[in-house]
Amino acid sequence: MGSRLNPYLSFAGDARQAMEFYQQVFGGTLTVNTFGEYGKPDAPEADKIMHGMLETGSGFTLMGADTPPGMEHVPGNNFSVSLSGDDEAELRAYWEKLSADGSVAVPLERQMWGDVFGMCTDRFGIPWMVNITGT
């Protein structure tokens, strides 16, 4: 698969509607997973989007999700840059450089969906998400 760099948007409960709108704008294939699929299916946020990805024929990739329970949604600060792929060595090297002199919100480690994932903010205040598949 190689590595991919793209924006990742956070929404205040309307991620499904937003991602469907972007699909209408750009075309492509939209896949979504809910919090219920990866947690408690009877939780209040079970139908909210944990991860959505739009891939277009033009080569655009846009990811988005509803803000998880317990995290604050701040309009204007509701984006991250996503790095993802299956090249573990490459992505871990990016993580080390991006998180150095920054702050780590989620350590780069295996998550409930099976991938290795971490979130950090670099020393310039830019939020990053790194997801390593197939490890």
Tens-digit pLDDT string for the chain (135 aa):
689 999 999 999 999 999 999 999 889 999 999 999 987 788 888 999 999 999 999 889 999 999 988 888 888 788 899 999 999 999 999 999 999 999 999 999 999 899 999 999 999 888 999 999 986
Backbone angles phi, psi at 29, to 5 degrees: -110, 125
pLDDT of residue 77: 80
Q: Residue 33: CA atoms inside 13 Å, Cβ hemisphere, count?
A: 11
- What b-and-e string marks burial along 56-80, b requiring 16 or more CB atoms within 10 Å of the CB? beeeebbbbbbbeeeeeeeeeebeb
Backbone angles phi, psi at 128, to 5 degrees: -125, 145
Distance CA(113)–CA(92), nearest Å, equals 18
Distance CA(104)–CA(124), nearest Å, equals 13
Nearest to 96 by CA among 115, 78, 35, 88: 88
pLDDT of residue 107: 98
Q: Is 33 exposed, middle or buried (0-12, 13-18, 19+ CB in 10 A)?
A: middle
